A and B are shown apart, each in its own frame.
Chain A
């Protein structure tokens, strides 16, 4: 390990001011800090700091995403590997490019977007589309607003929205028949041209003229058609519980989204408990609730606001699913929520200010 440290030490001057690779300093710093803890000191009081940093915080989200990622490999084969790699490389290139232009550090927030993005796409989508989507998402969804921490919308959802509106055909049809058995499709590589099927997903089947309701057991386990990471409710719930235990995701957002969605769906379907359960487990509701709505940057920062924000997303999802021609509403609901987050915050900040007014 000493060898690696020496290697980095030797290369460092080339990336400092006056070195040949000065523009690539953000990339070098990112790799350097990834390998070894930086020696940065607390310059001002407090003289010691909590061990949590952004890297760790973001890696907790990745850990929570692992069950869903594994489920994607199990059901749709290791085609997921190139998909994830393309997502990381194309999106990472944009991130590095902007860090270099802005002379700022590379942000760890991208590590989450890079993994989340493939999981909300149909597993049979051509790789170039994955690249186009993630580039658009990172560029328009995040970088033009100033990078991680300043974005208005969830970058992964911006990318997906762009793909859906531009390439509606593949986005609605590049599904892969899920594998089963002990190993699923863990040892298979499904190629797009041959294996993609364009049948209807459970939500589409339920919304068809002659509705077919997929068994709840299949939805829970995940052997249905759908986006790579959204089908297995089991894996997602596991990840969601982890996020709540790590206290990375806000229970306020998750709770209010799930409750509002359940109530609204029950209202619209006339209280049929099976249909409500079906809607909980089908589509991207759980993935969106646990991993997208809880994004602290694009959601509101006030605690009260999180309840309203979650409720807005839950209600909007139910309305889009049941009252519009669209069968899936999670993406648009969260983007709508993102749009309203600043104004929701505004209201709750005003309340906060009023409460503090009497504080002496």
Chain B
């Protein structure tokens, strides 16, 4: 299936590929829940002393994926609601030198089951997701194909190039480990432009591998074509219907290498710090749980009237920056200005500096340029005027405006018929909506509501079919 719709938002303040390694903070605030994971089963008690790499809690809903202590210290469960706080940190000032390991991992399919278990215990398995549900994949499951992606197109989230910077050998070795976990399934590697320096280096490094067959499938670098579900659809991996496809981001492959080559858990994360009010938008290497207030301190142009977002502009979640740390799924911190000055006759201005999906501003005559974005709604909520912009941008090929109308009149069956379940929650429909309707939120809610109230026959097939095959 060809990718449809999509739109690049292009704001000022994207992160540069520079990486700053932050010194360990005074304490860690590790959130117990993130977008797909909820670490509800605690393995430590208040006042316990933990060591770096120890399991703090597990997520029973996601195959007991562990939450790993990214530094040793004393645990406090009461200090911050919904977080595990570690104080009196005992991080070694200079980490022990990493042992020498061979450049290439031997093919080791015989220990696949043990290695999967090892990945699970060391916390690396959480990166492997089911491309259809975005939930953690079954460590004993058998995928029909695997997608490894180093492309992240949402504005302001950590760039694939930064995540893999100086780690190409590790990335390739991680993929070799991944190959050992599988049988004969294809690994699809999603890279930016093949002429890109990083992509070339990866190609050069992997060219010598006998198990590797390179074939190019062109993909436009337009948001949200990097979405795992869309990639799987684009590559035709869902064509037969019930397939399970695994998706692993570059950070996950690096965590694989860390776990299987060195036997270490991954306790740091490369995240982006970006936005128009950030002094120097770039990438940061931080410990999981690094307090966000600590990260932002001194790095912003202004302290007041800003919104701190966990993730990118389009799908991120607003966070109380004072009260949380970098979570396990955090890919970036976005800081946007919340405007306080009202512009006179703003809607009448020619708008050469306003980049719009529509052609209603003078900027339509200009080429691509970066725009200064804030959290302003830039208009007022109105009823839908059926302009059709949401249908044009929708990468899933559904009609958000129509689904909105059905949901408005409580016709859940009709919304289901229009395949609300195909929505990949990219946020573009809300972004372009001129009536400022929160379509993204409505779609996401409707998906849950439909699954709960009406059930999704297709999804039941998805979980049943591969398992019977494994048994046979």
Report which A residues bind B (CB closer than 8 A). 1, 4-5, 33, 35-57, 59-60, 105, 107-109, 146-150, 245-248, 250, 296-297, 299, 301-303, 349, 352-353, 356, 359-360
Contacts and interface: CB of A to CB of B under 8 A. Distances in A.
Interface in B30-61: none
Interface in B55-89: none
B376 A41 contact: yes
B360 A359 contact: no
A246 B359 contact: yes
B10 to A, nearest CB: 11
Nearest to A9: B342
A33 to B, nearest CB: 6
A6 to B, nearest CB: 12
Given A39-B339, A53-B380, A46 B440 contact: yes
A360 B239 contact: yes
B422 A359 contact: yes
A147 B391 CA distance: 23
Contacts of B209: none
Nearest to B309: A47
Given A247-B360, A353-B418, 18 more contacts: A38-B342, A41-B307, A45-B316, A47-B313, A47-B318, A48-B336, A48-B374, A48-B376, A50-B433, A52-B361, A54-B382, A149-B384, A149-B385, A248-B358, A301-B386, A303-B388, A349-B399, A356-B397
A301 B404 CA distance: 13
A303 B401 CA distance: 13
Contacts of A105: 380-382
B388 A50 contact: no
A356 B338 contact: no
Contacts of A40: 376-377, 379-381, 436
B366 to A, nearest CB: 14
Nearest to A353: B417
Interface size, B (range)? 35 or more
Counting chain B CB atoms within 10 Å of each CB, the highest count among A35, A43, A48 belongs to A48
A113 B427 CA distance: 32
A49 B376 contact: yes
A35 B436 CA distance: 19
B449 interface: no
A36 B346 contact: yes
Contacts of A39: 339-340, 342, 376
Contact of B385 (A46, A296, A352): A296
Nearest to B358: A52
A148 B361 CA distance: 23
Contact of B398 (A49, A52, A55, A356): A356
Where chain B touches its partner, the secondary structure class is: loop
Contact of B379 (A54, A247, A248): A54
18 contacts: A4-B344, A36-B344, A36-B345, A37-B342, A37-B347, A39-B342, A40-B380, A46-B431, A52-B358, A52-B432, A52-B434, A60-B360, A148-B383, A148-B385, A247-B359, A248-B387, A352-B399, A359-B419
A5 B340 CA distance: 13
Interface string B396-416: 011101100000000000000
Interface of B: 1, 9, 11, 233, 238-239, 241, 307, 309, 313-318, 334, 336, 338-340, 342-348, 351, 354-361, 364, 373-388, 391, 397-399, 401-402, 417-419, 422, 427-428, 430-436, 438, 440-441, 458
B30 to A, nearest CB: 23
A359 B360 CA distance: 34
Contacts of B438: 43-44
Given A47-B375, A356-B398, A360-B233, A57 B387 contact: yes
Contacts of B384: 149
B229 to A, nearest CB: 10
A7 B206 CA distance: 69
B238 A360 contact: yes
A8 to B, nearest CB: 9
B338 A41 contact: yes
Counting chain A CB atoms within 10 Å of each CB, the highest count among B1, B398, B401, B430 belongs to B430
Contacts of B339: 39
Given A41-B338, A46-B431, A297 B385 contact: yes
A176 to B, nearest CB: 32
Contacts of A48: 9, 11, 313, 336, 373-376, 431
Contact of A35 (B338, B345, B398): B345
A35 B431 CA distance: 24
B377 A41 contact: yes
A148 B418 CA distance: 25
B348 A59 contact: yes
A48 B385 CA distance: 21
A228 to B, nearest CB: 25
Given A45-B427, A50-B434, A5 B419 contact: no
A48 B45 CA distance: 41
Nearest 5 CB-CB pairings of A with B: A53-B379, A149-B383, A37-B346, A36-B342, A48-B373
A341 to B, nearest CB: 10
A47 B440 contact: no
B385 A50 contact: no
A48 B335 CA distance: 11
Contacts of A299: 386
B344 A247 contact: no
